[in-house]
Amino acid sequence: MIGDALALARKDLLLEVRRREVVLAMLQYVITTLVVIHFAIAGAGSSQKAAAGMLWAAILFTAVLSLNRCFAADQEEGALDALLLAPIDRAAIWLGKVLAQMTFLLIMEAIALPAFWLFFFGEKGPRPLPVIAAVLLANIGLATIGVLVAGLAQATRARDVLLPVLFLPLSIPLVIAAVTATLESFPGGSGAQKALQFLAVFNIVFTSLAWGTYEHLAGE
Amino acid sequence: MPAALRFPGGGWVASSGALIPLAIALAAWWVPDDADQGYSQRIFYFHVPIALTTYAAFAYGAFCAAAYLKTRDPRWDLRSYVGVHVGAIFGTLVLITGSIWAKVSWGVWWDWSDRQLNVFLVLFLYYCAYFMLRFSVDEGEQRMSYSAVYTLLGVGLIPLSILAVRIAQSLVHPTVFTTSGAAMTNDMFMTFLVAFAGMLCLAAGMIAMELRGKRAALRVRELRRRLEGTDL
Amino acid sequence: MPPPVELAACSKRFGERVALRRVSFTVPAGTAVALTGPNGSGKSTVLRVVAGLVRPTAGAALVDGTPATDLPRSERGAIGYLGHRALAYRGMTAAENLALMARLHRRPAAAVAPALAEVGLADRGDDRIDGFSRGMLQRLSLARILVTEPALLLLDEPATGLDTAGAALLDAVLGRLRGRVTLLAATHDDAFAARHADAVIRLDRGEVA
């Protein structure tokens, strides 16, 4: 199962390296979104705390961008059918996509996060380690629920519109915890442990649910 | 039972018709004032039971969704859909009564720092999206499977919502039920129970009635198809 | 031993449209059955139902006695499905696509080259398939099936888009496999049916005619 998932993840990464559709757009989008939000809350939000919120909003919306394209390559020539017909555990399809999505998110964050730190947090920012931990844990959660919801949305009539509608409510607890972790990592905060633990629990709950139910997304 | 109540769900509706006015009477006149909040606190006796009933309806919807995935029997899908639907209706009532309570007690229609209310909002939004998903898929096995999967994912939200409340301390939303028991007197608890029972009966009645209505509509459609020769 | 393919009063409705109505037939092991009928008669739906990609609204579609949508993982690989689309990834080469399928079907990587050769794509293996013509994609689909060595072939108008050489290759492949696999093929071409099928089932507006 893991082997199949890795093979499928490798396929998605290979396609991305060749076609460069998603990651560059994500980078562009995350930077632009940060700038837009910064200007949008210009009156109220020049504080560090507002910056923490901006960061996570931007990451979330960029994740939506990436998830919208998640099954695109599999649908072009109906390759998804071939995956469903293969003698593999169908959860491997889901897991492979999750691994690929996490990779895309990581690449985007590897560039966006330091840039963000430089421009918005500066010297007085939160302790980096808990924030990075939050980012890594959040990636798992976003990818886990995102790929499952993308699997639901891709078979419907209104797929581009439906994905954000289905995905965002699920992601709210994750964002709340991630922002809490970031805010509590500022000097004077009470520490991000509880929020990080929540993120871990969130991941465990939804990974189990997604793993168990992906099988049912096959078939018309 | 009087003829007017002899329909599926009639028993539930009759019970709620007895319990809810009783609860209103108890809450309005019998139960003593809350020490901290005064008379306006009494809406709690409805707000919280309605909220709990919403959770119960969504849980029923999720249970039926799991049953559908196990048995592939379309009747479970219908029950699941109706459960979520009634849950959404009660959820709307929660938000309305919650806003009223907030306005009366604390002067604001909505309080963004109130974690419980906001987390409930998340669940409510999630299940509203359920309808968008359901009706973007053509009727059939796929729609039923997808609805069931989505409903079950929402089950994950319920405990996570409760956990989110624990982590983020809220000073505004009174937490009445803690792990050490209910922080209220026996009179208050009894009133609360009456109202809760009444709300559950109402929800059960609404579910039964809606199921009956949907099944009748499906039967009509089956007959129409048979007439037109497009049945299977 | 249950037959490889059995449809029992199988019906499928997509929204308001009835695609199949109470279709019943059996394909005995090792034989070839052609599905004929006009456009929109339900041939593609039958194949997709047998492949387990579409769940029947009523009735059953059984593969080796098990409902096609509930086939255990190990038996799924015995089905080779050729549809209207290539079931491949545009950004990858022909060889990479086949290698992925081989891996997922637990076939050795060495199976890719002979499959490409048998469909006449040996020299195009390292070309990305987004440059392929319709006929080449059809050949690629055929190669994909050959790599997985199925016991049950479900072909949806396999000669579509093939030039004379391609059609000859298809005939050769089907001739080689005759009697050793079970075949269910949808086709418009009566000559094709006569060449390759032991029996013909005609569909009209979702029903067996």
Total Cβ atoms within 10 A of residue A183? 18
ipTM: 0.91
- Is 90 exceeded by the pLDDT of residue A125? no
Residue of chain C whose Cα is closest to the Cα of B229: C18
Predicted local distance difference test score (pLDDT) of residue A21: 82
Residues 59-78, chain A, touching C (beta carbon < 8 A)? 73-74, 76-78
Cβ <8 Å between C57 and B138: no
B13 to chain C nearest CA, in Å?
35
DSSP string, A147-182: HHHHHHHTTSTTHHHHHHHHHHHHHHHHHHHHHHHH
User: Which amino acid appears at position C98 of this protein?
Assistant: L
pLDDT per residue over C190-209, tens digit each?
A: 899 999 999 999 999 888 88
Predicted local distance difference test score (pLDDT) of residue A192: 82
Kindly give, in sequence order, each residue whose CB lies less than 8 Å from that of residue C146, ignoring residues fewer than 6 positions away.
C114, C115, C118, C119, C173
**Alpha helical stretches, state H, chain C:** 43-51, 73-76, 94-104, 112-118, 134-148, 164-177, 190-196
* Over residues A75-94, mean pLDDT: 92
**C129: chain A residues, CB-CB within 8 Å:** 77
**A7: chain C residues, CB-CB within 8 Å:** 100, 103-104
State chain B's mean pLDDT as an integer.
81
DSSP string, A8-65: HHHHHHHHHHHH--SHHHHHHHHHHHHHHHHHHTTTT--SHHHHHHHHHHHHHHHHHH
pLDDT per residue over C119-134, tens digit each?
A: 999 999 999 998 899 9
B120: nearest Cα among B20, B48, B27, B23:
B48
Q: How far is CA C92 from CA A72, B128, C97, C98, C129, in A?
A: 14, 40, 6, 10, 6
pLDDT per residue over A1-33, tens digit each?
A: 899 999 999 999 999 999 888 888 999 999 898
pLDDT per residue over B25-35, tens digit each?
A: 777 777 776 66
SS3 call for B61: helix
Gap between the Cα atoms of B204 and B88, Å rounded = 14
pLDDT band for position B113 (50/70/90)?
low
A4 vs B186, residue with greater confidence: A4
What is the dihedral sign for C-alpha B93, B96, B100, B103? positive
B2 vs C171, residue with greater confidence: C171
Predicted local distance difference test score (pLDDT) of residue B164: 66
Predicted local distance difference test score (pLDDT) of residue B165: 60
Gap between the Cα atoms of A92 and A83, Å rounded = 10
Task: Report the neighbours of C using a cutoff of 3 or more CB pairs below 8 angstroms.
Answer: A, B
SS3 call for B10: helix
Total Cβ atoms within 10 A of residue C131? 10
State chain C's mean pLDDT as an integer.
92
Count how many residues are written for chain B.
232
Label residue B59 exposed, middle or buried (CB < 10 Å: 0-12, 13-18, 19+): middle
A110-114, A140-144, A202-206, B95-99: range with lowest mean pLDDT: B95-99
Predicted local distance difference test score (pLDDT) of residue B211: 92
Which of C52, C73, C88 is closest, CB to CB, to A79? C88
Gap between the Cα atoms of C142 and C107, Å rounded = 16
* Over residues B151-173, mean pLDDT: 68
A164-173, B42-51, C181-190: range with lowest mean pLDDT: B42-51
